[in-house]
Structure 1
């Protein structure tokens, strides 16, 4: 009989993007059947006496044990510098609520900043007279800021953006690149190299033309 290997899900590490982390962490805790410890917390202690109260006490002790496990998962997910600010939180629910209060607001700010960067990226275009290296640097600066604010952006998005936003003098090389390359596997460095070669050829052609026309005057 073949053995089945079950891969344990990794504990999602908090990277500063609260909404995304909270979604992953909730899913992780639900898979462990511990999410109710965050939603509800440990049941309040009841008055002593009677069989029903004894049953409630056992449920409470079981909840405390589960709460310790959830706290352990949260401590592993959160950086030490953040953990030090929530050590006074005695339950997993307390830790979760504190994280939401601390970071959900900053996430909203990041989301607003990301929307601004998306608009900047969309309208970005190469200016007349701008060098290839300058335009690539400008585009990558905006793209890297977007990634820093949580945007998932692969090379293909940047490659396609650059191809559709070059000045008209690069139309020929754009067509050539699109026809002779698989854009899904093309790197930004490869794209930049192709445009630099074309730019150098145009520069050499202009220098030759200037020299030829000067020579004609004599």
Structure 2
């Protein structure tokens, strides 16, 4: 729908018209108010104290037409008898927000929901901050306000333990009573990003250390194993494996050394002959 701003000399700006349904009044009201205010027509819906009657009368028709165009057919038929934009807006607000008693009851329920807000593990900070901001918009729709101090407090008090260090730093070095909600959120996001990067770097270092340890174990196995000893001071299984790989120069049989050989001792000439025979390549 194209609206002509009051006193704009005929220039038009096309703005999307949000459609009111049974369950989106809060969001709808925010969008419609912003659109009418951008076109300088909001004064016809909620007149200012110093507004001239003639000016309001000129703005009333385009503002009413815009509001009617943003209603579904069933809602439109119920409020079509309202002749001014202010009456139309008040009727819709009464229908969806309720009278004073209903509004007070809804506000009490909303406060309870706000006090029960908690950020579960695995929930993104942006998503949780969106819930808090949505609560603030619902407060405004009910005629109340949710200031930054309350939003910052609920944010810092309900984040999970992984962000506790950042919360402690903010509360120690910053004035949380005067801190904007966006600043508190930005500080928490910066801390979370730095923590995530540090964790990733630590994980890569751990993998490198594990790889080095594995390579070291392979190198020790390649060079004969580890020289461990049992409680009695005897040699370990690795030392036994090296003895089994030895060659006896007394009998020429592999699997033990000459000092452990049980066969009769041979002379030096016989030992040399056995060694030469073992070392010669086989004849084809």
TM-score normalised according to structure 2 size = 0.41
Using the TM superposition, give the Cα deviation of residue 166 of structure 1 relative to its aligned residue in structure 2, in angstroms: 1.0
Alpha carbons 2:166, 2:188 under 8 Å: kept = yes
User: Corresponding residue for 1:160?
Assistant: 153
Deviations 1:103-159 (A, max 9, x none): 498234333322222111110011112222121112111222122221222111111
Structure 2: distance between partners of 1:103 and 1:181? 42
1:183-198 aligned at under 5 Å gives the runs: 183-198=176-191
Pair 154,14 (structure 1): closer, same or farther in 2 beyond 3 Å? farther
Aligned counterpart in structure 2 of residue 212 of structure 1, from 189, 198, 205? 205
Q: Larger RCO: Structure 1 or Structure 2 (Cα < 8 Å, ≥ 6 residues apart)?
A: 1
Alpha carbons 1:173, 1:198 under 8 Å: kept = yes
User: Corresponding residue for 1:24?
Assistant: none
User: Corresponding residue for 1:146?
Assistant: 139
| Mapped pair 1:107 → 2:107 | no
Structure 2: distance between partners of 1:212 and 1:173? 25
Using the TM superposition, give the Cα deviation of residue 176 of structure 1 relative to its aligned residue in structure 2, in angstroms: 1.1
Q: How many residues align?
A: 142
Alpha carbons 2:118, 2:159 under 8 Å: kept = yes
Deviations 1:37-88 (A, max 9, x none): xxxxxxxxxxxxxxxxxxxxxxxxxxxxxxxxxxx8xx99xx7759x8378x
Structure 2: distance between partners of 1:180 and 1:146? 30
Q: What secondary structure does 1:153 align onto?
A: coil
Pair 170,182 (structure 1): closer, same or farther in 2 beyond 3 Å? same
Pair 86,106 (structure 1): closer, same or farther in 2 beyond 3 Å? farther
RMSD across aligned C-alpha pairs, in angstroms? Answer: 3.7
1:73-152 aligned at under 5 Å gives the runs: 81=64, 85=82, 103=94, 106-108=98-100, 109-152=102-145
User: Corresponding residue for 1:59?
Assistant: none
User: Corresponding residue for 1:180?
Assistant: 173
Alpha carbons 1:132, 1:199 under 8 Å: kept = no
TM-score normalised according to structure 1 size = 0.52
Q: What secondary structure does 2:144 align onto?
A: coil
Point out where structure 2 has 5 or more consecutive residues left out of the alignment: 1-43, 65-78, 85-89, 212-284
Q: Which has the higher helix share?
A: 1
Structure 1: distance between partners of 2:191 and 2:109? 33
Q: What secondary structure does 1:182 align onto?
A: coil
Q: What secondary structure does 2:98 align onto?
A: helix
Q: What secondary structure does 1:164 align onto?
A: helix
Pair 103,197 (structure 1): closer, same or farther in 2 beyond 3 Å? closer
Pair 135,163 (structure 1): closer, same or farther in 2 beyond 3 Å? same
